[in-house]
Chain A
């Protein structure tokens, strides 16, 4: 995998780090300094979470498989002055307890962070129960909610810290495995998106793991004389609409690529923002179809099956007239 130079768009090799390690090592540091930070899991482990449990045992709670209770208890802890971080598989910690998130966290705007592991097809052959493909849509609809979808370990750690400093509820979708670093340690992530690669002909907006695919797609497109830019939309909510609209408005054509349902994800988000502009920009949304995927294979296989692999993506874009 490759790391783009943010000023030139050129690419260098970069080390891959586990996204969960990046998340929990940062959280461990925060919780060591602030003993009000607590981690609550629905019986979901991670290697780097074991260190948290060992070093900060009084701040660690395996709540069992009871997501509704986790969210309500987290709300109570937050009202009692604690800073809860909930960790579990994305589908379960967003969907099983959605109403608790809406009423207990969002209605009262409480500082509780939900860390969902397994964005999109991370869990591959585990099937649709484990595919987080509608979580962006439902979480976007909640007032007060902040949504982060980091694309690299540096961003993951930064998002954990930003969620900690946030005064309301947040949802961080993290990857289960390693991803190469795209950003420098001291990068400023306040804006919510980053132009990783400028492009004259087309601009691809992606989020999470698909940012890496988008960068490879852009390389592939350059072999076909198509100059493609890449935007990493790492904060899905709130959006700096003016800045994003202004940045994307420069493009001749826009593509969104995501490992979410075509309904309600970043394709919808970009369409909503760009629909308000006086000068229309042609937009193509590439996402998962509106159906459950009951075909089984690993993430790579599923991407190819759904047309989200680099080759298929490049072909789709090249064929878009």
Chain B
């Protein structure tokens, strides 16, 4: 798929995320927007192996969406691909919907229930180990938020994955540099973040998380790496990406735009891309 097409899909996904969150009156818009381009690159860039008609296909790659609070973006991506009807997005957060505020593995295409942070990397490591033990060739990929890297369990899993030489495990961190109330470097410093992962025994790539060219280049060889180490891709992103007044602003972690702000957001997502 051409990059311009991916940009158009990303715009549509962000627009759908905005409408879902506005309609439900709640949601995590900032983190959904920061990880949207990563999701599009994985699902539309020929990186992930999946079968829309058979979501449980045994040969599929296992994609663990560890930052489960940004699930609105994943819902939109999965619906657009046909895992479930796009019309289902209108039910998000409403009575009886299958789509709640955090990722649920009962939703077609969602591998693991998440929502509590710091769990996804360990689960992904277990899946990658199971594949190695059974000599299966599926990849396990996990998308983490940077904020959840404050959890000790992430580093327990990081050590475990490197020790067991899980080269079939790829983790991506949506490095938007923000948590709910603060900027990561002002709360508890992560930097040098890449060196931390290298010190734990991972191969590390740092890329622009909003450049499809950079993301696809980083993902290109994930199935054929000549390494015995898990791979960490630190995707540098902007929280709230796509709506000018939200970008980099703490307020838009989980607030819902109204009035003029909503008009502006709608108009920017309709016109951009």
Which of A's residues lie within 8 Å of B, judged by CB? 58, 63-64, 66, 68-69, 71-82, 99-100, 103-104, 107-108
Contacts and interface: CB of A to CB of B under 8 A. Distances in A.
Interface string B148-178: 0000110011011000000000000000000
Contacts of B105: 108
B112 interface: yes
B130 A72 contact: no
Contacts of A66: 156, 159-160
8 contacts: A73-B129, A75-B122, A76-B126, A76-B128, A80-B62, A81-B130, A81-B134, A108-B113
B234 interface: no
B41 interface: no
B131 interface: yes
Interface in B105-145: 105, 111-116, 118-119, 121-131, 133-134, 140
A75 B152 CA distance: 18
A80 B126 contact: yes
Given A73-B122, A75-B123, A79-B126, A103 B113 contact: yes
Contact of A99 (B116, B126, B129, B157): B116
Contacts of A77: 126-127, 129-130
Contacts of B115: 103
A174 to B, nearest CB: 24
A69 B153 CA distance: 6
Contacts of A78: 126
Contacts of A64: 159-160
Contacts of B153: 68-69, 72, 100
What is the predominant secondary structure among interface residues of chain B facing chain A? Answer: helix
B150 to A, nearest CB: 13
Interface of B: 62, 105, 111-116, 118-119, 121-131, 133-134, 140, 152-153, 156-157, 159-160
Nearest to B136: A80
Given A80-B130, A103-B116, 9 more contacts: A64-B160, A68-B122, A71-B122, A76-B127, A79-B130, A81-B130, A103-B114, A103-B115, A104-B123
A285 to B, nearest CB: 34
A69 B118 CA distance: 10
Given A58-B133, A80-B134, A82-B130, A73 B113 contact: no
Nearest to A99: B116
Contact of A103 (B119, B134, B140): B119
Contact of B123 (A58, A72, A82, A99): A72
A94 B159 CA distance: 22
Contacts of B124: 76
Nearest to A69: B156
Contact of A63 (B112, B119, B160): B160
Given A81-B134, A108-B105, A108-B112, A76 B152 contact: no
A104 B119 contact: yes
A77 B123 CA distance: 8
Contacts of B133: 58, 82
A38 to B, nearest CB: 8
B98 to A, nearest CB: 15
A73 B125 contact: yes
A69 B134 contact: no
5 A-B pairs closest in CB distance: A76-B126, A80-B130, A72-B122, A69-B156, A73-B126
B122 A69 contact: yes
Contacts of B125: 69, 72-73, 76
Contact of B157 (A58, A72, A80): A72
A80 B156 contact: no
